[in-house]
Structure 1
Amino acid sequence: MIETPPSSSSQVDVVLPCLNEAGALPWVLDRIPSGWRAIVVDNGSTDGSADIARALGAHVVSEPVRGFGAACHAGLTAATADVVCFCDCDASLDPGLLPSIAAPVLDGTADLALGRRRPTPKAWPPHARLANLEPARLVRRRTGVRLHDLGPMRAARREALLALDLTDRRSGYPLQMVVRGADAGWRVTARNVSYHPRTGRSKVTGTWRGTWQAVQDMRAVLAEAPVTVPEVVGAGVRGGER
């Protein structure tokens, strides 16, 4: 259910999945690039996050089904801009870096652009890295796309993303986006972004149990048979990090 009226005037929409991020929201929303629209997807917050986001001018969407993928996909379906970015809402990543991530998509040289996280001190506990490194290796083997991080900061064109028909609603959503995009021949690129200690505790990889569940979600995605998805015009050159 969309709680605030949409606007189609922005060049880029930024989807921010949110579950109890009251402490981080003011900084995050202040860093959204000028002229871009922030879509905060409230995933059942109990700390007033939705009210804070609304008061700060964000477009707020409510997604009652819990899960990172559920929140991301609700934001995608609420988006109206041609290009959609995704970014965590916990202040671990700076939304001010999004223009450099989205640039290859905006200029037509890439179909999916990712932010490769470069951790600052104390930003990435070992169990969280474990949940990321092995799936990245398996993606390289499965698709040929040379990636070392499946980080949440990314950009792609809205219609192309919707055509992927992403089905995962948990931690496997970002991985499924990469895998299905690669199956469609998307040009994938990645650029380094600084990764800082998050505000508050992670709901996904803040514990070993959460990490284990994230790994299971990603394994399920990698076990899927390749699906036929529409090719993006101009796609077909496999990419990777640079």
Structure 2
Amino acid sequence: MIISTIASHSSLQILLGAKDEGFRTRLYVKPERRAFYASTRLTDELVVTEDMSAILKDDGIVIPHGSFVAYLGLERIEKAKARFFGNKRFLKWETTFELQDKALDEAGIPRVRVIEPDEVEPEKLYFVRIEGPRGGSGHFIAKGSELEERLAGLSEPPRIEEFIPGVYLYVHFFHSPILGRLELLGVDERVVIADGNARWPVKPLPYTIAGNVGVALRESLLPRLYDYGLAFVGSYEKARTARNHRPLRSPLCLRR
């Protein structure tokens, strides 16, 4: 058996995990990235191509990650005959705010408040996000008095959210219907280019993600986060049963 994925996002973790479990690996990589990925020695087969859709005809087990929708498009993924690990319909959830909000609301998990344009107050801070998996690209923080000018230059519909200061954590889970359990695997914090404003507060920097830092979270917080994970899985299972969809058997991440 061979594990296949696209050279981007979290492919190095996928390849390392596959190797640790004794699987052979195959990686689809663009020509300009070949040298780096070849140097890692984590892949048995390196498929160098400009067309990442070649993976949709792969004969191994395809492990998707956050760049799949951006590279391939959701419709092509859902129609693909390749064998995907997990439920590929679940990828749709990371592409639309509506599905994300509905999932969190049905699970009873608190989420950030969405602000309508007529609710904006001049002196308050707001976080503006663009829909879809984009690694934070296009997101920004601005005062209400700046929003009209900043929003006018956007080519895609934005979403205005209440700005909540604090630590932004990403909690990683794995749900196995075979073993009947949910595992909390770890927590990380995103490093974004805008963090540089603390050192150079002259011009607002973009919110594009530059990396991740592992977090050893206070143990007293872990049970609550685990309960959120259980609630999310329970909500998904209830919804998918009503729609006759496949069960959730894959990693998932909640942002807190």
TM-score by length of 1: 0.30
TM-score by length of 2: 0.29
Greater RCO, CA 8 A, separation 6+: 1
Q: Which has the higher strand share?
A: 2
Which structure would you say has the larger Rg? 2
